[in-house]
Structure 1
């Protein structure tokens, strides 16, 4: 069975120490030859400039295809498209377009008076300006969606607006993704649906985030991580869990996996190695 293609998500550094961590992460994972990598955009656009600078530096220094994240939160249309133009000047033609989470302290998304009302409007503008646009999707129904069908109908609107593919929120049950993929196909969505995987570096944080975003956690997985933590085998269990999930997805025809690295590269590297992805010489152009 051929090894899958991969893509990787990083987040922008907020300190000098964070910059070193991001660079170490890329140095570790670049030899896996990802198809592309992305840099996230903080809640409320709080890392707008940091994301722009990180995207430019990664492309320049490592020769990787980089996608910048862009959201609708707390910015006018002109401000948002200005960021897109800055991405383009840095040689970036790929954007992950998201509505975005509300700013810290707010429960609900409220569009900027002069901003994009939702992700579909943002996607339409970006695709109309020649960007390759990727979007998010949710195998476990988004907490704000009225139903699973409404969630998929919204995804179809995003694809119809010009998105080239969708990347899922992380999930822990392969059947959850496979059922979702089938429902997308039944709804007439022909664009690739790429599974997003989270090798768990901190189970307490990961499980809280999963609960908050509605991601289903099987009971045996909760129990397994609890036992592994008591036995000081949490990393080994996380690698085994993510590798087993990834292997099942590849068996079911997934030829591309997206990894949420959290700027902690070791688990992602070990999972990819277990899947048969052989490292290549480092790509850094840094002298």
Structure 2
């Protein structure tokens, strides 16, 4: 199913996000994770790029595997990084030829060693330009874009950030998937500001279950999200106990998702970090149905 059709009938859209592994052992572990999570019949599985677009071809390969072997819709991440317009169109054609009809259109992070994003010669600078390019060459593609409940780290303020989001929507985005957050109030306020700005696309909260305190600290250092003091206190008290950290993170995510669902979100997008255990616990607690069929061929 395409992103453009996914949220139209009020059906809740569960989706999960993975990244390309670095080696064969990682591939095997990811396949196990996908087999576990696809039993919950997510609307789609999205696959990211590596740093600097280094795994862009691998992204297409994994998306094709998800669709052809695991029989689940895939969404390929697509960025402006290190690519000319011609190379971007070529990548889109390769994705289309592989049967991929959903794209997550993102500007992308600056390559290693760059503090600010610099487009390639003959390339694109902003995600809204990427959405325009997709619509120009592949008008029927489903397109998701990123939203930032607590403001993009590079935006001067929330109003500027919202204006940039509106440009992506006006260019043809079908749905908005947010950066991770741990305070739901930020999401609710963001959703209200989007409504006031005339942004009428589905807004899907992005949730990253905490499984290890040190790992989430590294991730949080790269984004502008608030880390609630009570959650930090619990994790710090358990910093020598990985099992306790996992339990704290999973229980927090369950409560967070329960509240979001009560507030009528059209779906939830889970950043699973290529592991299934935490999300399985959350999905079961939320009552998402699981099929027992063998989904792999």
Confirm or deny a common fold (TM above 0.5): yes
8 A Cα contact 2:15 2:270, kept in partner: yes
Matched with 2:110 is 102
Partner of residue 271 from structure 1, selected from 282, 286, 289:
282
1:168 match: secondary structure: strand
Confirm or deny: 8 A CA contact 2:39 2:295 kept in the other structure.
no
Determine which of 20, 40, 45 is the counterpart of 2:28: 20
- What are the residue-to-residue correspondences of 1:196-215 with 2, within 5 Å? 196-215=206-225
* Cα displacement (A) at 1:272: 0.9
Runs of 4+ in 1 over 4 A off after TM superposition: none
The aligned counterpart of 2:201 is: 191
- Once residues 153 and 51 of structure 2 are traced to their aligned partners in structure 1, the CA distance between those partners, rounded to angstroms, is 17
1:52 match: secondary structure = helix
Q: From 244, 248, 266, give the equivalent of 1:255.
A: 266
Give the distance between the partners of 1:21 and 1:69, measured in 2 at CA. Answer: 21
Q: Measure, in 2, the Cα distance between the counterparts of 1:77 and 1:221.
A: 44
Number of aligned residues: 285
> In 2, Cα distance between the equivalents of 1:83 and 1:17?
27
Q: Is the 1:166–1:193 Cα contact (8 Å) retained in structure 2? A: yes
Q: Is the 8 A contact 2:211 2:250 kept in 1?
A: no
Distance 1:273 1:68 in 2: 27
Give 1:73's match in structure 2, choosing from 68, 73, 81. Answer: 81
The residue matched to 1:281 in structure 2 has which SS? coil
Name the residue aligned to 1:181. Answer: 191
Contact 1:62 1:283 (8 Å CA) reproduced: no
* Structure 1, 111-120 or 257-266: larger mean CA deviation: 111-120
Alignment of 1:116-135 (within 5 A): 116-128=124-136, 129-130=138-139, 131-135=141-145
Asked whether 1:32 is paired with 2:40, we answer yes
- Unaligned segments of structure 2, at least 5 residues: 1-9
Counterpart CA distance in 2 for 1:5 and 1:95 is 16
CA RMSD of aligned residues (A): 1.5
- In 1, the alpha carbon distance for the partners of 2:216 and 2:238 equals 15
Q: Of residues 268, 284, 291 in structure 2, which corresponds to 1:280?
A: 291
**Matched residue of 1:268: which SS?**
helix
Are the counterparts in 2 of residues 239 and 270 from structure 1 also a CA contact under 8 Å? yes
Residue aligned with 2:145, SS: strand
Task: Show structure 1 runs of 5+ residues with no match.
Answer: none
CA distance in 2, matches of 1:121, 1:255: 26
* Aligned residue number for residue 160 of structure 1: 170
Segment drifting more, 141-150 vs 207-216: 207-216
CA distance, structure 1, for counterparts of residue 99 and residue 292 of structure 2: 23
- Counterparts of 2:149 and 2:214, CA distance in 1: 21
Tell me the equivalent position of 2:5: none
Counterpart secondary structure, 2:238 = helix
Answering whether residue 247 of structure 2 is matched by residue 239 of structure 1, we say no
Shift of residue 4, structure 1, vs aligned partner: 4.1
| CA shift for structure 1 position 283 | 5.1
- 1:79-134 Cα deviation digits (max 9, x unpaired): 11111111111111100000000111211100011111211111001122221110
